[in-house]
């Protein structure tokens, strides 16, 4: 298909992306659009430097490629470079979503779905209801001068409904999201909507102040477990952070015990959902990478450059937000694996602590923070009243060691809004999840 010159390594990735965005605010449509765009990203390596080009002129990619060659210097030994020698040569076609493609669902049907669902969200305490529908269908192609030829598709669909509540001086906002890989996955039942509204009203009217900030046992729900795994440990596992950093290299020695033996964390693009990536943006097949296995540091996430530098295997984690960027080391779907306990056993073992149902956001590397949105007090092994908690904080490795309960309800979550940010690349579609987990002590503020 392309004329690759000898003496250089080159690859080309192409994405044909379809998206739908529908947004309503208090019953009024603010956005309703479909967009189709096709772009390509080209790379040439001459043994010393990478040369890049991004273009939406996908009908003249050979000219773009030839222009990059003209900047580079031929090297007959370029394939001996460790970062090039390690690259896989895969030939595959993985088209999973053509028969249930969101492109085939009429825009009017999607809009009616949002309107009909929004009408079911009501509360005497709410003055603002926002609804959004988002979908995406992408077809990726990848070609390299080593002979790789890959084609696969990706799809997500989801709806997010948010409500703002007020009573006197008290305010509370929350949202419910239903996402999947097909349009039929995203419908909210009347019972789900009713429970969401009732839970929000309960927090608004009954949440009490945290009487005594301090260190407490906590139970994290799967969404919070996923955020914790992604923010506090997933980013630390991205190997480009370790290049040239001897301190990190010593801290992150393979085989080192870094967590409770109850804890295992994996990252894989093979999970169905928003982090699905059967091949990364360097043509590497997705793997199932244990970052922690039974409390022991077992792996990290790689591009070809980082794997070659550290002498480790490829993991399929060289990713770019879109064809406007070069691939860098990024997570796919990061999950804390389920254990053997029940949720009731985790909660039942706490005399006084807190249950964190969901969160606004999280961040961290060596020290992490999680900002809860809805949280509840645990007293004598039972969930009690909602409580206002501003933030949970802690040292990552200390907290990993303090996990003393892992439930058997592992959940993998798909998201259609937001995404992961790193360097200038945001938002990247990722997945995350896990079971309920119990941490014997966390700093609750």
List Cβ neighbours of 361 (8 Å cut-off, separation of 6 or more): 227, 370, 371
Encode pLDDT of 178-193 as tens digits.
999 999 999 999 999 9
Give the pTM: 0.94
3-state class (DSSP) for residue 363: strand
For the cut 70, the answer to whether the pLDDT of residue 365 exceeds it is no
**Which of these ranges, 4-13, 342-351, 367-376, has the smallest mean pLDDT?**
367-376
Question: Span 99-110, mean pLDDT?
Answer: 97
Rounded-to-integer distance, Cα 177 and Cα 444, Å:
27
Q: Which of 48-57, 81-90, 415-424 has the lowest mean pLDDT?
A: 415-424
Average pLDDT over residues 210-238: 93
Higher pLDDT, 418 or 96: 96
SS3 category, 205? helix
With CA atoms as reference, report the closest residue to 378 among 403, 340, 343, 339: 343
338, 406 contact by CB (below 8 A)? yes
Say which range, 4-8, 240-244, 363-367, 392-396, has the weakest mean pLDDT.
363-367
Residue 162, pLDDT > 70, answer yes
Closest Cα partner for 265 from 420, 412, 416?
412
**CA gap 353, 139 in Å, rounded:** 47
Mode of pairing for the β-strands spanning 170-180 and 392-395: unpaired
Q: Using CA atoms, how far apart are residues 186 and 76, in angstroms rounded to an integer? A: 53
pLDDT digits (tens, 9 = 90+) for 233-266: 888 899 998 887 777 777 778 999 999 999 999 9
Query: How much is the pLDDT for 4?
Result: 98
Region of poorest pLDDT, from 68-72, 237-241, 270-274: 237-241
d(CA 281, CA 346): 40
Instruction: Please state the rounded mean pLDDT for residues 40-45.
Output: 98
CA distances from 340 to 345, 404, 406, 407 (A): 10, 12, 7, 6
Using CA atoms, how far residue 127 sits from 120, 202, 205, 206, 360, in Å, is 14, 16, 15, 19, 20
Phi then psi for residue 68, to 5 deg, are: -65, -40
- Measured distance CA(224)–CA(291) in Å, rounded: 19
pLDDT digits (tens, 9 = 90+) for 139-159: 999 999 999 999 999 999 999
Provide, rounded to the nearest whole percent, the portion of the chain with pLDDT above 90: 90
């Amino acid at each position: 298909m392309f004329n690759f010159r000898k003496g250089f390594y080159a690859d080309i990735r192409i994405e044909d992306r379809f998206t739908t965005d529908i947004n309503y605010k208090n019953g009024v449509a603010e956005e309703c659009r479909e967009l189709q765009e096709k772009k390509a990203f080209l790379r040439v390596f001459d043994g010393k430097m990478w040369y890049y080009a991004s273009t939406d002129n996908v009908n003249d990619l050979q000219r773009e490629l030839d222009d990059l060659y003209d900047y580079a210097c031929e090297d007959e030994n370029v394939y001996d470079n460790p970062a090039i020698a390690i690259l896989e040569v895969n030939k595959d076609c993985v088209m999973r979503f053509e028969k249930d493609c969101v492109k085939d669902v009429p825009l009017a049907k999607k809009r009616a779905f949002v309107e009909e669902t929004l009408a079911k969200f009501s509360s005497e305490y709410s003055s603002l209801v926002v609804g959004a529908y988002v979908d995406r269908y992408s077809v990726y192609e990848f070609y390299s001068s080593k002979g790789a030829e890959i084609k696969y598709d990706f799809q997500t669909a989801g709806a997010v409904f948010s409500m703002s509540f007020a009573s006197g001086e008290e305010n509370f906002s929350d949202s419910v999201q239903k996402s999947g890989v097909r349009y039929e996955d995203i419908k909210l039942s009347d019972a789900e909507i009713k429970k969401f509204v009732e839970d929000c009203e309960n927090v608004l009217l009954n949440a009490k102040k945290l009487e005594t900030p301090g260190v407490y046992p906590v139970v994290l729900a799967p969404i919070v477990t996923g955020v914790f795994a992604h923010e506090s440990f997933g980013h630390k596992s991205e190997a480009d952070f370790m290049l040239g950093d001897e301190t990190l290299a010593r801290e992150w020695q393979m085989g080192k015990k870094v967590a409770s033996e109850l804890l295992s964390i994996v990252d894989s693009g093979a999970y169905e959902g928003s982090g699905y990536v059967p091949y990364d943006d360097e043509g590497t097949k997705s793997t199932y990478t244990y970052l922690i296995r039974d409390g022991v540091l077992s792996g990290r996430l790689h591009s070809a450059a980082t794997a070659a530098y550290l002498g480790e295997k490829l993991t399929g984690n060289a990713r770019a937000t879109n064809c406007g960027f070069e691939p860098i080391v990024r997570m796919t779907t990061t999950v804390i694996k389920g254990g053997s306990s029940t949720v009731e056993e985790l909660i039942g073992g706490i005399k006084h602590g807190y249950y964190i149902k969901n969160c606004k956001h999280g961040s961290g590397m060596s020290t992490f923070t999680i900002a809860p949105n809805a949280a509840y007090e645990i007293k004598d092994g039972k969930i009690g009243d909602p409580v206002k908690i501003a933030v949970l904080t802690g040292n990552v490795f200390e907290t990993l060691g303090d996990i003393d309960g892992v439930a058997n309800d592992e959940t993998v979550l798909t998201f259609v809004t937001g995404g992961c940010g790193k360097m200038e690349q945001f938002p990247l579609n990722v997945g995350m999840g896990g079971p309920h987990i119990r941490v014997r002590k966390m700093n609750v503020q």
